Structures are given as C-alpha cells and as structure tokens.
Copies of this chain bind each other. A is one copy, B any other.
C-alpha cells in the first residue's frame, strides 16, 4: 500500500495541549457521555482531576432514535470550554457532521469522530482540513483495513494528528454490549504510524469489566484509554449503566 498511514517508518506523536499520545505513558481521558450542565460536568471531573489528562464530554450526540436527547450543541461546547479552563485540562468532544467542524474546532482541543461516522467521508475530510487533532473511533463492524483507510482520509488533507480508538465490535453474544478487540488495537499500533487507544466503557458496556480492560489495555502497550465517568450515572441522559461514578473510577484504576 502507498497510503501515508503506512509510509512513514517514524511513529507519529499527537499533541493535545501539553498531552502527548504515543510517548509511552498511556493517556487517560474521562468524563460523562453527554454534557448536561456545568454543575454536572464539575461534579464528574473535580474528584478525578488529578488522575486524568483530558476531559471527554458530548455536546452533539448521534442517537439511534430521532426522539432521543441529541445534546446541548453549542451550549454544551461552552460548558466544556469553561470546565476545561477551570481544571486546566484539554477536552475532546464529538462532531457529527462536516458543517459543524469549524464550530466545534473553535472550542475543542480534539475532535472525536464516532463509530457511526467512521465512513462519513465528508466529515473525515473536513476534520482533516481543520488541522485539529482527531480521535477516530473504529466502526462497530469495520475491518481493521477499513478503519485504517478512514484515517487516511484525514491524513490526506495534511493532518497527521490522528489517534485511533478501538471501541468494541459487534458480535453474536449480547452478554457484553460489544467485544473489545484488544488484539486488533495492538495490530493497529504495530501496522500504522498512529497512536492507538481503547474505550473500555463502550467496548464492554459492563461496569465490572471496565477496570480489568483498562489494565489490560495499558499492559499491552497501547497509548491510552477513554472512560465514561458521571457524577450521577443513575440520572445520566445516556449510557448511565456503563458509567463509573468518580469513586468507582478511582477504585478501578488503582
């Protein structure tokens, strides 16, 4: 293959503020699935702020049903920016359409492209043009090759700041929400020039499995994890069942 993704023998390091992906130490990203208010975000981050490197939180939420909560949109971005400044931590947030890239890039330190949009080529191209660091999740049944080519759409625009994120693939067994393909993530690390992290929260969907998968992900040399933490999971607008409380998070990473 002649793709840029594979061309470089040199591994790419991706900087997000002062945080660097690909330098050996795994990066810890945590926060709620969806941003609901500044109070919710503060309560979720304050207890864990010394243990994390980047805040996550969704302002634009792609949802299976059009009648589900779709996110606070620009209001959510402002809340994330405020929390980011208060805690002196950069933040990553999802962007779901090409048209929103400039708006989200105005606030966010890193753009997340979600599993459903992994082959939304207009969005990938726009994210590439923005020059912003991109966190590219693997599609729920994307082959490794399709994932790598999706990254290539960003790189092709001159933007090498791409971090790959394995977030679980769909299998025949619904005991766990998805199957975290840890070996696939290691394969991505070995066969591309990009940093690779995992998402044990979506990757398992079962709270008791998240801690062990964080440890496993770090043990096999990957570049970080992204974890859902919510001050009050029972009342979260989305993904409550797989969200840690801050206390559970601290216990899980010990």
A positions within 8 Å CB-CB of B: 2-3, 62-67, 96-99, 116-117, 119-122, 125, 140-141, 143-146, 149, 152-153, 156, 169-176, 179-184, 186-187, 190, 200, 203-204, 206, 208-209, 212-213, 215-221
Contact = CB atoms under 8 A, between A and B. Distances in A.
Given A122-B97, A149-B64, A215 B209 contact: no
B190 A152 contact: no
Contacts of A176: 183-184, 187
B66 A149 contact: yes
Nearest to A120: B120
Q: Indicate how many identical chains form the complex.
A: 4
Contact of A171 (B120, B153, B179, B200): B179
The 5 A-B pairs with the shortest beta carbon distances in the complex, nearest first, are A219-B219, A141-B141, A212-B220, A216-B216, A116-B119
User: Which of A182, A209, A221 neighbours the largest number of chain B CB atoms within 10 Å of its CB?
Assistant: A182
Contacts of A121: 62-63, 66, 96
A99 B96 contact: no
Given A179-B181, A215-B219, 5 more contacts: A99-B99, A171-B181, A172-B172, A183-B209, A183-B212
